[in-house]
Structures are given as C-alpha cells and as structure tokens.
Amino acid sequence: MRILVFALFLSATSLHTFAQTQPKLVVGIVVDQMRMDYIYRYWDKYSENGFKKLMNEGFTCKNAHYNYIPTYTGPGHASIFTGATPMNHGIIANDWFDKASDKSLYCVSDSLAKSVGTNNEQGKMSPSHLLAPTLGDAFKISTQFRGKSIGVSIKDRAAILPAGHSADAAYWMDFETGNFITSNHYMNSLPKWASRFNSEKHADELAKEGWQTLLAIEKYTESTEDNTPYEKVYNKNGYPVFPYDLPQLIKDKSYYAFANSPYGNTIVRQFAEQAIINEDLGDDEFIDLLTISFSSPDIIGHAFGPQSIEIEDTYIRLDLEVAQLIASLNERIGKENYTLFLTADHAAAQVPSYLKDHKIPTNYFETDRFLEELKAHLNSSLGQGRWLLNYSNQQIFLNHALIASKNLETDLVLDEIKTFALSFKGVANALSSSQLQHPLPSDQFAFMAQRGWNPLRSGDMVIQFLAGWMEYGHQGTTHGSSYNYDSHVPIIFYGFGINQGVELEPVEITQIAPTISIVTSTAFPMLSDHRPISKAIIQP
C-alpha cells in the first residue's frame, strides 16, 4: 500500500512537472515550389533515409495550405518564418509597385547595402522591407543574441527573409561567379571558411559532367516522355531533352543555368554543412537557427513543369540531399539535439497547355489586351487620363491624384473596373481594397486576398483568374493563385520535441512558427499566428 501511495504521489507530481527544455539547433528547410503530391508520386523512387525517414519518424501535415495570395517565393519565406501573412509582414510579392517612388521594388533590395564577396551589385540586399521579426530574431532575443541565425540558399530572398533582421549571416549565389555572397547588413567580409568554399569552385566541379538522369530514363514512369511541347528549351538542339550540357549553358547564360539543375541543391547542402561545422551550430546551450532553402526545384519547375522527367529527377536527387543532411546532423549534433522542419514556399500549377490537350479547362490570361481594353474603357467612361498607375501581381493601382482632381469617388472608378474585368475572359472575381478591409463572406479567395493585402503597399483592386488560368508563356509553369495547386504544400517536423504521426485536418502555413516556438520554449515571433500544430508536439 505504501508503495502504491508513493507511486501515485510520484505520478501525480510528474504530471505537474514542466520540462524547460529546448533543442540546440532548429533547421528549417524550404523546398521552393514543392507540391505535396511530389511526396506521393515519386514515393517508390525515394530512398529510406530522406523524405521517408522524416515522415516515418516525424510528424507530417498532409493537408497544409497557404492562407493568403500571392503564393510567391518572397511572401512564402517571410510567412513561414514570421508566422504572419503579407497583411502584417509586408512582403506582398517578390517585386511590387512602390507607391511613394512610382517604381518597382524588389522584396530584399537595399540601395544602401554593399555587396560582400563579389564586385557586382548582387549583394546589395537586406531584410529592410520585412516588417516583422522571424523565428531567428526570436531565438536571438531569447539568448541575448548569443545564439546564431544563418540562412543559406541559391536565391537571395530565400536566404535573407528566413534568417531575420538580426541574423549573423545570409548567403546566396552570385550568378556571375557561382560563389556564395552576402551583404554588409551582416558582415564586412566573408568568413574564411566561406571564401575557401568559393575558391574550391564546387559549382564547376558539380556541373562538369552535365545533367543526365540519375536512373535509366525509361524508369521515369511517373512523368511524360522527355520531349514534349510543354517545356522550355535550353539545349542548342532545340529540344527539352537530356542530357543538359551544363558547362556550355553556364558559359552562355551564367550560373543561373547551373541553378536550373539539381546540382543547385547539392551545392546548397554542401555549403549548409560547412556552415554547421565552421560556425559551431548546435554546439552550445544557446539555441541556433539554420535555414536552408532549395531554390533549384522552382527554377526547374518553371522551365519544365510538374509532369516532366526533369522535375522527377530533381526530386529523386533532392531526397538524397535530404538524406545526406539528416545523416550529417545526426552524426554531428545528434537526433535528440535538433528539431527540423521541411516545407515549401508555394506549390505550382500544371502546365495549362498540357491539361488543355487532355480536355481539362485551363488557359492563358491575356494581360496586355486586358490592360489595353481596360484603359480604353476608363478613358471613354471617365474621360482621358492615366487612370492606372500600375498593374502587378494581379493588383491594380489607381491614380488617386487624377481621381481627386476630377472630383470622382474612388469606389465609382473601382466599380467601372470591376464591371469591365468581370466581362473579360479568364477573370473569376475582382475585389476592391475597401471590400478587403471589411468582413467578407467566407469565400476562399476573399479570405486569402485579405491576408495578402497590406494597407501600406498593396493596390486598389485584386483580380482573381479562373482556376487553371495563368499569366505565363505556353511552356513551363508558374504559381501565385489561391487554388489548391498553388497552396497545398508539405509540412514535416522531425527530431527533438516532435511526435511521430500524421495530421489530416487543414493546417495553415503560419502555424509552423508557433509550433517551433512551443517546441523550443521560446517566445513567439512578434506578429506570429498563435495556433501551434499541437498534435506534432510531445507534451512534457
């Protein structure tokens, strides 16, 4: 009896004991343009130690979606790591029309910044346009800035936005030299290990044999044949087919051609491993963040589309990079000492011309004709004038000075535009800024447009295309819409503090940040969503 009482006492006290523990390192992996169905479609081709290991030992959200538009790279990375949407973090697109300067602005451009590691302007970047702190900033504050935050990617925006404002470093590729560079927002010269890595010319070494398929080409049964009219052509022979002569393509088109191959993922993984070793990530009691964004799948996806052998080969090889990274982390840091998550910054549409040939209704939106006819319509109904200052990211920016000088109501002009837009082929809906600032009916487009609309930066009207329609050339594909094909991405957690399991209920992309905050016992990033994915977290 005494033993039983003692045991009850023990279990009762353990119920009230909170463990203030945290991992030493968080690794946030973003695969640019990864659709959830790439997990299913290529499953039999994956190794046991990459995606399958993360899913078998970790926690997978099978029904995770973006909760705003546009579904682009800059906003995607900002939203994953701030736990907020463009409405609050301000990264409303990759490039947007800046109302104050009447010019287009790039999401991580910084005219005051200086390049570090290159003589050209590709390093004039910083997170200055990001209006919210990230997980990296939250970790920094929680450790009196003794923990480290480092971002690595091919694309500047995919390295800079995740790592945060107070990051130690963000490294991205200079397409002129193939080197990893940074800006003086972080440091005044590259660390020795990064300069050494650059001097070893890994891009040239990886590219020298060209891009061949990893498996025999007839094994790519989850894709169309190699030569289709739905893909962009880079080869001199005029066909979108293997092999790709990378050394020649690099000579002709810069290292962007290297990034348009799976070796772009290899070099990012190699550089990230060097960062772990040389920056002692996960080595002390101050929690560190390493963000690794694989940009090449997006560049390849835009060129060849989701049904191509090029994309299948990219994911079979990416699985091996993920396996290598997990092996390195487990060996150096130990699985019990780090938490990893893997997600995507957006997904992608099927190539419209491909679906159209299979009788599925899709098409290409004629932007130039739309704008021409819209301007003519406004000139005839309201009088001659430059009524539109800009159209970008499916948003219309009105000339408010002209509207005021003519003593017109803005809503009247917007009603004219909406009536015209709804009569134009391919338009599904159009919402005005005033509609986006009021409670809306529970329509998915309205919900996502509202969360993507920032009062300081966004336009006066957002246009929605019909499902399957896009503004793009007839080869390759893009993304940006509110539809499932652009919003549905994987979210997988693995390692310290993570349950084994699956979530089938809908999850929103902004729930990653608070989940990591809870797992790491740190404060939420300032503007973060406060709905962690509870089932993923081991309860203390």
The footprint of Zn ion (CB under 5 A) covers 298
Q: Please give the C-alpha separations between residue 46 and each of 323, 399, 502, in angstroms, as whole numbers.
A: 10, 53, 19
Is residue 311 within 8 Å of residue 50, measured between CB atoms? no
Shortest Cβ contact with Zn ion: which residue?
298
CB of 315 to Zn ion, least distance (A): 16
CB of 254 to Zn ion, least distance (A): 18
DSSP for 430-444, written as a single string = EEEHHHHTS---S-H
Q: Please give the C-alpha separations between residue 472 and each of 101, 258, 351, 477, in angstroms, as whole numbers.
A: 27, 23, 10, 7
CB of 69 to Zn ion, least distance (A): 14
Given 60, 71, 73, 266, the catalytic residue: 73
Comparison of 198 and 477: residue with beta carbon closer to Zn ion: 477
Comparison of 298 and 460: residue with beta carbon closer to Zn ion: 298
Comparison of 168 and 298: residue with beta carbon closer to Zn ion: 298
CB of 33 to Zn ion, least distance (A): 5
User: Helix or strand or coil: residue 9?
Assistant: helix
Is residue 228 among the annotated active site residues?
Answer: no
Residue 467: its H or E element: none
Point out which residues pair with 60 in neighbouring strands.
Answer: 492, 502
Comparison of 70 and 532: residue with beta carbon closer to Zn ion: 70
Comparison of 22 and 291: residue with beta carbon closer to Zn ion: 291
Q: Is the CA virtual torsion 328, 331, 335, 338 positive or negative?
A: negative
CB of 30 to Zn ion, least distance (A): 12
User: How far apart are alpha carbons 177 and 201 in whole angstroms?
Assistant: 9
Is residue 100 within 8 Å of residue 78, measured between CB atoms? no
CB of 478 to Zn ion, least distance (A): 6
CA-nearest of 66, 139, 141 to 338 is: 139
Comparison of 299 and 507: residue with beta carbon closer to Zn ion: 299
User: How far apart are alpha carbons 458 and 447 in whole angstroms?
Assistant: 15
CA-nearest of 155, 201, 160, 194 to 178 is: 201
User: How far apart are alpha carbons 215 and 443 in whole angstroms?
Assistant: 45
Catalytic site positions: 73
